[in-house]
Amino acid sequence: MSEQPEQPEQPEPHEHRVINPTTEELVATVPASTAQDVDAAVVRASSAQRGWAALAPGERARLLRRFALTVDEHREELAQLEVTEAGHPIGNARWEAGNVRDLLDYAAGGVERLTGSQIPVSGGVNLTFTEPLGVVAVIAPWNFPMPIAAWGTAPALAAGNAVLLKPAETTPLTALRLAELALAAGLPEGLFQVLPGAGPVAGNALVEHPGVAKVVFTGSTAVGKEIMAKCAAQVKRVTLELGGKSPNIVFADADLERAAAAAPGSFLDNTGQDCCARSRILVQARVYDRFMELLEPAVRGFRCGDPTDPDTGMGPLISAAQRERVRSYVPEDFPAAIRGEAPKGAGFWYPATVLEGDPRDRTAVEEIFGPVAVVLPFDDEADAVRLANDTAYGLSGSIWTRDTARALRMSQAVAAGNLSVNSHSSVRYSTPFGGYKQSGLGRELGPDALAAFTETKNVFLSTEEQQ
Ligand code: NAD
């Protein structure tokens, strides 16, 4: 009999193992929800939602503000949990926990401003009511587990809905803690439930459940398409936040020193596991060599290592599987234009990598979701627009130039939902966010966030005298 290779211990099918990506140690084992768990959760959520929607708006706002305050009181604990389960540098993780607080606070401010309207018509009065949808499912990815869970959850609750949150298999811990904090803050039992579990099991059950009125999905474009098709069968509302391959466009007239100094953060932050990563750096040909000279020390200076150290710029990748995915695009011995340092030994490390190449290369077309960027030269503005838009995606992008008119022309010409000029602006809770083309459908965040979780009902009241 041939010798069998030693098999790694398989998890029970009814639970998920949470692994610290920095140490590869087991952190926790979390039960995986089944389709029956989803059924039961929908029943509890529907009942809680009716009570929640019936509360005075001021009371709902007060409870959400209390939830925000409770998150703030546990900010450090949540941040440490994010470091442990996702390997985020502690500075980033603290920002992320603060972002959840801010999202709840901002959404709470919208509860009492969710007004309908009165529209002039003849023969009566015409009113619109803004009503909650009912039970909303939020399906979150692992790359920013806390903020992305809150992008959907906070406005959905504020608009009077119940929320069932399914975190990613690898990162359920902050989500579970947030649900406990919601209860501690006084939110009704059943209103905000977290259902950890496998995408094709718990996630799919939420998508197909007739009692779920809307799905907010953030994740890969492939799964997003599947979910959209399944929602279509029930004409279920859906918001999709999907992948990206965003351009960082550097013109010859830009402040090249600043552009080069800022470029590493735009594709290395969160170890490149960022849907907004500017992973295609487009540089005007006549300053290409100079830009590369400036970029090299900036990339090498972006510190990769222990995420608990406040000076760390980037930690490990989320999992062994994700590292294999990145390696399948760029093996670590592949000739790179620039390569940074990463720790050796335990942990899912991968070094910062900059490639030069052709726009048709797989690495220049597909989302790698790791610390890898491709630099491509362009000739003039028209060429820059052509290259920037030569992608199935359209999530974000940056434009570096000292010419304000060009910055505006480019901002209008680049087909993406979120652009920044002379900066790599991050996502803000107070401004709208979402993708063009295959980067998504709908918008989250910003002043209209609550409206995406409502139905508009129109009522006409005749003022004719009744006999
Ligand atoms: P993924 O699509 O594999 O999983 C995302 C979530 O969907 C997870 O919770 C997963 O369990 C669940 N899921 C998987 N299959 C499912 C199914 N059949 N039915 C229902 N749910 C299912 O994505 P990922 O690998 O976790 O995240 C990385 C991707 O997310 C990248 O492509 C990235 O660009 C994208 N992303 C987009 C945004 C954005 O705002 N546009 C933000 C962050 C991440």
pLDDT digits (tens, 9 = 90+) for 422-455: 999 879 999 999 999 999 999 999 999 999 999 9
Q: Verify whether ligand 1 is closer than 6 Å to residue 242 (CB atom).
A: yes
Ligand 1 pocket mutation, candidates 142, 170, 241, 275, criterion most atoms within 8 A of CB: 275
Query: Ligand 1 centre and the CA of 89: distance in Å?
Result: 22
Q: Verify whether ligand 1 is closer than 6 Å to residue 194 (CB atom).
A: no
End-to-end alpha carbon distance in the chain? 95
Phi-psi region of 135 (alpha: psi -120 to 50; beta: other; left: phi over 0): beta
Give kind and range of the element (H or E) at residue 72. Answer: helix 57-73
Per residue in 354-400, pLDDT (tens digit) is 999 999 999 999 999 999 999 999 999 999 999 999 999 999 999 99
**CATH homologous superfamily for 247-428?**
Aldehyde Dehydrogenase; Chain A, domain 2 (3.40.309.10)
Q: What is the pLDDT of residue 8?
A: 52
Alpha carbon distances (Å) from 28 to 37, 169, 186, 286: 20, 12, 27, 53
CA dihedral 253, 254, 260, 262 (to 10 degrees): -170
Active-site hit among 275, 304, 367, 444: 275
Quickly list H helices, 117-236. 145-158, 173-184, 204-208, 221-233
Active-site hit among 82, 85, 96, 241: 241
**CATH homologous superfamily for 16-242+440-457?**
Aldehyde Dehydrogenase; Chain A, domain 1 (3.40.605.10)
Alpha carbon distances (Å) from 156 to 54, 70, 89, 241: 15, 19, 29, 16
Q: How many helices (H) and strands (E) does the chain have?
A: 14, 18
Per residue in 313-347, pLDDT (tens digit) is 999 999 999 999 999 999 988 999 999 999 999 99
Residues of the chain with CATH 3.40.309.10: 247-428
pLDDT at 184 over 80: yes
Q: Verify whether ligand 1 is closer than 6 Å to residue 395 (CB atom).
A: yes
Residues of the chain with CATH 3.40.605.10: 16-242+440-457
Indicate the average pLDDT of the chain: 96
pLDDT at 3 over 50: no
Record the tokens describing residue 262, joined without a space: 């800022």
d(CA 154, CA 194): 14
pLDDT at 308 over 90: yes
Ligand 1 pocket mutation, candidates 215, 216, 223, criterion most atoms within 8 A of CB: 223
Q: What is the pLDDT of residue 337?
A: 98
Q: Verify whether ligand 1 is closer than 6 Å to residue 147 (CB atom).
A: no
pLDDT at 4 over 90: no
Q: Are 246 and 277 in contact (CB under 8 A)?
A: yes
